[in-house]
Amino acid sequence: TWGKRRWEAVAIPWPARRRWKAISRSGMQHLAPASLIAPGPPTCLPSTAPKDPADREARSIVDWNENASIGEHLWYDTSVSGDVCYVGEESCMAKTAQKSLPRKKCAACKIVVHVACIDQLAKINFRCKPTFREAGCRNIREPSFVRHHWVHRRRQDGKCKQCGKGFQQKFAFHSKEIVAISCSWCKQAYFCAVMCLNSEPSGEWRAVGKTYAAVTISNRSLLILLLLQNSFKSSTKKKKRTSFKRKPSKKGMDEQESKWRPFIIKPLPSALTKPVLIFINPKSGGNQGTKVMQTFMWYLNPRQVFDLSNGGPRDALEMYKKVPNLRILACGGDGTVGWILSVLDQLQMNPQPPVAVLPLGTGNDLARTLNWGGGYTDEPVSKILSHVEDGLIVQLDRWNLDLQRNPDVGPEEFDDGVQKRLPLDVFNNYFSLGFDAHVTLEFHESR
């Protein structure tokens, strides 16, 4: 005999099914409503997701420790009205409390949430764009692309990448409907429609071709060394090998341990890319550097942007010194540029990376000499990055001063209160007052 059993199943309506297929193809499952997700085995989250997001504090700077979490947002306070909370009305805590709550904005992906709603992002499985990857798997050939990081937008500028139509709305200021989906890496945007989403070719974006792509260090070139790597190294050291190499002393091993860093850079050599490091003095130009730093974190990998008030430029330059075609952008005054150049002299990098200047300080004589202007006037960051990439490289004279005692003067003639060492022993010669300047002027006038 044959028996028949009836099982209850949840079917997705055909138009909604097409939209869900387009969303899943583009790697944007977190944007789909719960009603569109078909029942089935739970989706395994990446191992890099924090075990308990509620235990992690909202960060405003990049975490360089071994406990860094992939996809961590970089929050700063915002008071701009009109931006709707990213978690939506169903999960928004402000709607439940029925009152205005303080909000924060992510510098890397530009989403806005209430402070009380930050923990809700983990529940909808939305993380920021990944700035590094774990060093667990060792591939012989590293891929030269990164995956898109899609973010839904209720307000979007520009045009759709697929259909070419502009993202225009009559009441965009108060709209709570998702209008577009954009990538926080390549800045491409698509209408939140079936035809536009279904035509998106793949979830991969090759880090070449555009200005912000050419100067961005791909997240595939950043490796994090977790504490588990130490146990792996210690197990390999137990194998006995015949070697004539002298064993390092205890003092040398202590120096190696003190220089250990959880992050290392594995460069991907390519003639098309010109990675850039941004060093910003946030106090320069009347605290103008803070706003500029947040903008650079949006256009680039946040791990390329460094705050000079947190330890200076040395650690960053030591970590990135083996990256080919490296360029540096110093955002500050003449003192900021001189600080970075002095560290480059100490590290003796070969070849020396060219240094561009974004004038934010009060004394910007070097920036004027190099045609960067006397101050920053809210020029688009994308245009600045284009100048850094295509700018003409020129030589800059730097002089080392060696202070020696006058042998013709006796010790009884020296004053003990006189300083015997100069506070600075290096200076930049970007203009001259003297005989060489006089010769140059005469040569110019004789033509």
- What lies within 8 Å, CB to CB, of 364 at 6+ separation is 333, 334, 357, 372, 373, 374, 375
Q: Give the model's pLDDT for residue 126.
A: 92
- 85 or 269, which is more confident: 85
Q: Give the model's pLDDT for residue 235.
A: 38
Strand partners, 222: 265
The number of domains in the chain is 3
Indicate if 179 and 96 belong to the same structural domain. no
* Residue spans of beta strands (DSSP E) within 60-137: 75-78, 103-106, 112-114, 133-134
Q: How far is it, in rounded angstroms, from Cα 235 to Cα 269?
A: 31
In a domain, 20, yes or no: no
In a domain, 7, yes or no: no
Indicate if 164 and 311 belong to the same structural domain. no
Q: Is 137 helix (H, G, I), strand (E, B) or coil?
A: coil
293, 305 Cβ separation under 8 angstroms: yes
Name the most confidently modeled range: 88-102, 134-148, 273-287, 408-422. 273-287
Indicate if 352 and 315 belong to the same structural domain. yes
Indicate if 298 and 184 belong to the same structural domain. no
Q: What is the overall mean pLDDT for the chain?
A: 73
In a domain, 432, yes or no: yes
3-state secondary structure 263-323: EEECCCCCCCCCCEEEEECCCHHHHHHHHHHHHHHHHCCHHHEEECCCCCCHHHHHHHCCC
| Sign of the CA dihedral with 98 first, then 99, 100, and 104 last | negative
In a domain, 11, yes or no: no
The string of pLDDT tens digits covering residues 392-421 is 999 888 888 877 777 887 777 766 666 666
Q: Give the model's pLDDT for residue 214.
A: 65
Indicate if 84 and 201 belong to the same structural domain. no
Give the H or E element holding residue 123.
helix 120-123
Indicate if 318 and 285 belong to the same structural domain. yes
In a domain, 383, yes or no: yes
Alpha helices in 29-119 (DSSP H): 93-97
- 238 or 183, which is more confident: 183
Q: Is the pLDDT of residue 331 over 80?
A: yes
Strand partners, 330: 279, 357
Please report, for the domain that includes residue 436, its CATH number.
3.40.50.10330
The string of pLDDT tens digits covering residues 149-164 is 999 888 888 888 888 8
What is the rounded average pLDDT of the residues 44-55? 41
Instruction: List, edge to edge, every strand of the sheet that includes 189-191.
Output: 150-153, 180-183, 189-191
The string of pLDDT tens digits covering residues 62-114 is 998 888 888 999 999 998 777 789 998 888 888 777 678 899 999 999 999 99
Q: How far is it, in rounded angstroms, from Cα 324 to Cα 275?
A: 8
Which residue segment(s) compose the domain that 112 sits in?
Answer: 75-127
Burial class (CB in 10 A: 0-12, 13-18, 19+), 140: exposed
In a domain, 400, yes or no: yes
Q: Is the pLDDT of residue 358 over 90?
A: yes
Q: Give the model's pLDDT for residue 435.
A: 78
Indicate if 423 and 354 belong to the same structural domain. yes
Q: Is the pLDDT of residue 310 over 80?
A: yes
The whole-model pTM stands at 0.75
Indicate if 352 and 432 belong to the same structural domain. yes
Q: Give the model's pLDDT for residue 192.
A: 82
Indicate if 276 and 176 belong to the same structural domain. no
- Reference 210, options 226, 233, 186, 189; nearest CA is 186
What is the rounded average pLDDT of the residues 315-328? 90
Q: How far is it, in rounded angstroms, from Cα 326 to Cα 329?
A: 10
Q: What is the DSSP string of 362-398?
A: S--HHHHHTTS-SS-----HHHHHHHHHHPPP---EE
Indicate if 308 and 427 belong to the same structural domain. yes
Indicate if 383 and 441 belong to the same structural domain. yes
Indicate if 441 and 364 belong to the same structural domain. yes
Q: Give the model's pLDDT for residue 274.
A: 84
What is the rounded average pLDDT of the residues 284-297? 87
In a domain, 86, yes or no: yes
Q: Give the model's pLDDT for residue 75.
A: 96
Q: How far is it, in rounded angstroms, from Cα 57 to Cα 72?
A: 10
The string of pLDDT tens digits covering residues 414-443 is 666 666 666 677 878 776 777 777 877 777
**Which pairing describes strands 397-400 and 305-307: parallel, antiparallel, or unpaired?**
unpaired
Identity of the residue numbered 133: R
65, 132 Cβ separation under 8 angstroms: no
In a domain, 45, yes or no: no
| Distance in angstroms between the alpha carbons of the first and the last residue of the chain | 110
Q: Give the model's pLDDT for residue 34.
A: 44
Q: Is the pLDDT of residue 22 over 70?
A: no
Identity of the residue numbered 106: C
